[in-house]
Structure 1
């Protein structure tokens, strides 16, 4: 008996995917019909099967009940479930090839010959030879204000609670538009500096309030807020329903109408008085609902007194409310935060192709904010706030936000930061790394002591987080501790062994190697760590699928022939530096070098076009990127290529082949960027002599001097051209349908 892998999407041989790849591309990348105008029996949809766990599955519509806005959908395994229209996304694109056409058209529109480059950009992606970064797949050509950049770094987090909230707001804005964020926490004063550390519970200092009409009420009652008091605000209408034994229906303003942001203040009565539409939620027995409220332990009130804050329903107002809460607490005041203004769980968020995590979930942010206030802030506390925000951001599909937190190696709290993740539940929504300086590595090498500290609190506004720069300028640190550099290094390694973090980012070495060393200092990396970036720095990604450029397995008997004999001789020469003649000849004709070059060069042009074609969440991002035009072309399928070549991954032989392979790709990328400079001019802040003094370009000069000569003569369009990023969800390559015998 034979069983075949079945697909729900109408694939062809050009764009076929495995079931896992099919689900991922449908959920995260294919364009959705947000208004559900095309919804009908037979429609392919992404169904939200479990709201709590954000579980999404590809399904087909079986039956519709338009009056109740309900749809019965069938999953791949035949299981059927009835869902609200609000919990299904209709696929407007139903195959990767449609996505490729949309992306190619969107990117080509900014070129001098859109028709020519649309076809080239389509062929670039066709057959999974090259895969754009996930954010390009999800955004390019859609008209939606999401970003095509995976990688962002915001300016260093400033020293005051208002600064923490402002950085938090920037992070939310970027993550809501599907970018990942990195930041440096080194300007944040040590724990207990701004606010004393408190040992007592702060539950009474913060009330989290939800109105009885809000659709998230039951989830709110079930949520465990460890650092605040849970309050349900009831009204006379609800109390009457309880007394009369009638039902109670949840409501919320229709957040999809034009003017919602301008009219919604969190007051449902005022909204209704304006005659504006509301969405009806579930209906329950009022008496049973009241019993659940009392059983939950929530305080029941009709009116609030004291400092009452309403966070609105926008990312900026949520961040401002967090700052207002902290400042009120610094004045010794108790605070009530009314969560009712925030839309219910899984409501669609217009303009950013995402969904709300829910009012009750945002309560976790203010609850954590109260906790870190009581713990005296510090980099770990501020990191916890950023981490919670990251977990609360639901981007397009089931994707969560991504975050990297970095603290430089001389900060007074660095040892607390190094070990923080050994405590369960601390900073669970972010990666953390230590920013390691050249000076620290020298101290470790020579068995020297290493001092930790922070400037005097009166000087914190003048400090930019660079301890070496501060001391070099003759400024003093308040030294908090002296430790052996080797012992501190061991602490980092032990913590990484115990909890998989922190990572280390060699910040001093990074800036020495960086092509932007002379005008844009690297301050942090993106969440996955592959891209060091300056303040407001961004980078788009794409990956050449190396496994598509071989003649199959080692014993296939197939050979790749060159059309260009000079190119063949040049690559042979590169291979002969590392391999004996017979082996060099095998690699020369088993890898499709010429096709790989075309794909690499076209990929570089494609990613450069994305710079001009995409939306920018912040003007500062746009200005910075237009100045340096940073792109990161990378790879996937390297292990497959090595297997095809009969080379063991990690062997000395593999290192030598990778050296040739990546050396050629780097050469092609930099030379293609030179070609772009000839056509459009170099990036605006290019200065040949300074650019060529970077550690990377010095290495290029030693290995490939003709590339450096071309840059000297014509300039270069992009400050960087390559980065090797992880490709987890975009790495679902073409798989042929394989019959399985049972």
Structure 2
């Protein structure tokens, strides 16, 4: 039994469709609002109706709709100034961003540590973690527009004097529940860790004002112990992010959006959307014996220019919570096109997730998507002009930036014609939009279960719940049972993360599941493997340790209220407010 249509009606339709609007009417609304001409409208409408491309939830909810919400899923706060006025201003701007449906990321490293002197008052600071509580309360109070949970990412640099308190900040049940938290790890720290050296905690950032000196290995172990037991904090390799950044010459990144797939500068904003790979899984015209499976690369290449054009139009056709976000978005025209349904697609071809064959398949796939997205943006630049902050010499000038991974012919075209969008690629978790598409496997994650019970809050507003049975897309549509996340080795998770990261100019949101069969020392090595493999960050989930006390039924998934991008304690599945 598969009750996916009923779940889509109760969970997805209220998020993405206007009242009384059918699915086809909703897709026509989006296509009409975001198309340039009749040909583009017709192709986009068909693509959306067939769900070959899944714009992020904010796009589907807002494009051409009567309700006023932003089409941008991802924001990062302006720099939080180290004063009461600065903190309250940042808090107010975060509230405005969430009120219009945006998720927000924050770098709290700019706030002076606990116990630091406040000369003007003759008192001492309570530190950034205490101020995070104000953001948490605000997020719980403001219900984001369009049935969307508030979502926040809190980041602190590894060299901030309060980082040890930050690492354990969410151990207390009920504290900072609307935050995901991540530690921004620097190359300097990783070098100290390698050499088993001491490491200085300083404030302000980049100064030589040392508050405390610690053993790098002890601090690393504290992060690892906490994430081993509580799945947080995540880790961001912040220097990797900034070196890789195509816009290294005009911005510095200190935080990410709530699920980590979009490292963004202060006031940064980014659009998201995912190519639904299962819709390109085809069989050759069947003969009597053995039809051959293939991935329709021709159709992918045909769709991508329409996707890039559609998403680029959003920049000029949406509302922004803050003027600073609008300026930032229009100056750089960032977007994050990703994929979903990877695990289902691998199953379609009989490829085991995490195997060498899956790595090779995924590399070839992502190379095509990377190159076609960049080519489409170059073609759009010929027609509409490059993004305003484009400078060919600088954009192509860093030996470390992502642009250097592109083929020479694409780099040559960038130099000659410019490019419409500074960034084009990102891997989002795609929790709800993947459900909307028939419960395809989310993003680049493996399948969590072939059949789940999902408890849904009913729309009567009285808190009534009903449980439905839903099946994984590959199982329901093709009768295929692919590998489950807890059947895949931890290193295979990391290898998939680092493989995809090589083809993405922003970042990947992926949760790497581990169990108690992985010794703690090996667990720590996973993070080193991610760092050395060039990942922008890493998040793990210890299925055995974190489910023993709460697991009632292995394949039960419940909708949550008041969480950021939470990891479901019963499945390890990351679910974001998309």
Change in CA separation of 1:549 and 1:454 when aligned onto 2, cut-off 3 Å? same
**Cα deviation, residue 396, structure 1:** 3.3
Partner of 2:432: 729
> Runs ≥4 in structure 1, deviation > 3 angstroms?
552-560, 696-699, 734-738
Change in CA separation of 1:555 and 1:389 when aligned onto 2, cut-off 3 Å? farther
Cα-to-partner distance string for 1:105-142 (whole Å, 9 max, x where unaligned): 1112xx3x3x3322222122121111110001111101
Q: CA RMSD in A?
A: 2.7
Cα-to-partner distance string for 1:270-326 (whole Å, 9 max, x where unaligned): xxxxxxxxxxxxxxxxxxxxxxxxxxxxxxxxxxxxxxxxxxxxxxxxxxxxxxxxx
Distance 1:514 1:526 in 2: 16
Distance 1:626 1:536 in 2: 12
Alignment of 1:619 onto 2:288: no
Partner of 1:99: 26
Q: Tell me which of 57, 60, 65 is aligned to 1:142.
A: 65
Distance 1:689 1:710 in 2: 13
Q: Tell me which of 369, 384, 387 is aligned to 1:683.
A: 387
TM-score, normalised to structure 2, is: 0.72
Change in CA separation of 1:558 and 1:127 when aligned onto 2, cut-off 3 Å? farther
Q: Is the 8 A contact 2:72 2:270 kept in 1?
A: yes
Distance 1:650 1:383 in 2: 38
1:29-68 aligned within 5 A: 29-31=16-18
Q: Is the 8 A contact 1:151 1:180 kept in 2?
A: yes
Change in CA separation of 1:450 and 1:192 when aligned onto 2, cut-off 3 Å? same
Distance 1:613 1:398 in 2: 22
1:563-578 aligned within 5 A: none
Distance 2:289 2:29 in 1: 35
Q: Is the 8 A contact 2:58 2:70 kept in 1?
A: yes
Q: Is the 8 A contact 1:29 1:134 kept in 2?
A: yes
Partner of 1:453: 202
Change in CA separation of 1:555 and 1:420 when aligned onto 2, cut-off 3 Å? farther
Q: Is the 8 A contact 1:130 1:544 kept in 2?
A: yes
Stretch moving more, 625-634 or 153-162: 153-162
**Cα deviation, residue 100, structure 1:** 0.6
Q: Tell me which of 615, 629, 638 is aligned to 2:342.
A: 638
Change in CA separation of 1:437 and 1:554 when aligned onto 2, cut-off 3 Å? farther
Alignment of 1:715 onto 2:446: no
Change in CA separation of 1:406 and 1:708 when aligned onto 2, cut-off 3 Å? same
Distance 1:485 1:435 in 2: 14
Q: Is the 8 A contact 1:97 1:126 kept in 2?
A: yes
Change in CA separation of 1:150 and 1:553 when aligned onto 2, cut-off 3 Å? farther
**Cα deviation, residue 161, structure 1:** 2.1
Distance 2:409 2:247 in 1: 21
Change in CA separation of 1:99 and 1:195 when aligned onto 2, cut-off 3 Å? same
1:100-115 aligned within 5 A: 100-108=27-35, 111=36, 113=37, 115=38
Distance 1:163 1:146 in 2: 26
TM-score, normalised to structure 1, is: 0.56
Distance 1:644 1:413 in 2: 48
1:291-690 aligned within 5 A: 376-455=125-204, 467-468=205-206, 471=207, 476-477=208-209, 479-551=210-282, 590-690=294-394
Q: Is the 8 A contact 2:183 2:234 kept in 1?
A: yes
**Cα deviation, residue 163, structure 1:** 1.8
**Cα deviation, residue 633, structure 1:** 0.7
**Cα deviation, residue 434, structure 1:** 0.8
Secondary structure at the counterpart of residue 679 of structure 1: helix
Change in CA separation of 1:688 and 1:149 when aligned onto 2, cut-off 3 Å? same
How many residue pairs match? The answer is: 441
Q: Is the 8 A contact 1:128 1:734 kept in 2?
A: no
Cα-to-partner distance string for 1:351-405 (whole Å, 9 max, x where unaligned): xxxxxxxxxxxxxxxxxxxxxx9x9531111112111211222123442110001
Alignment of 1:126 onto 2:113: no
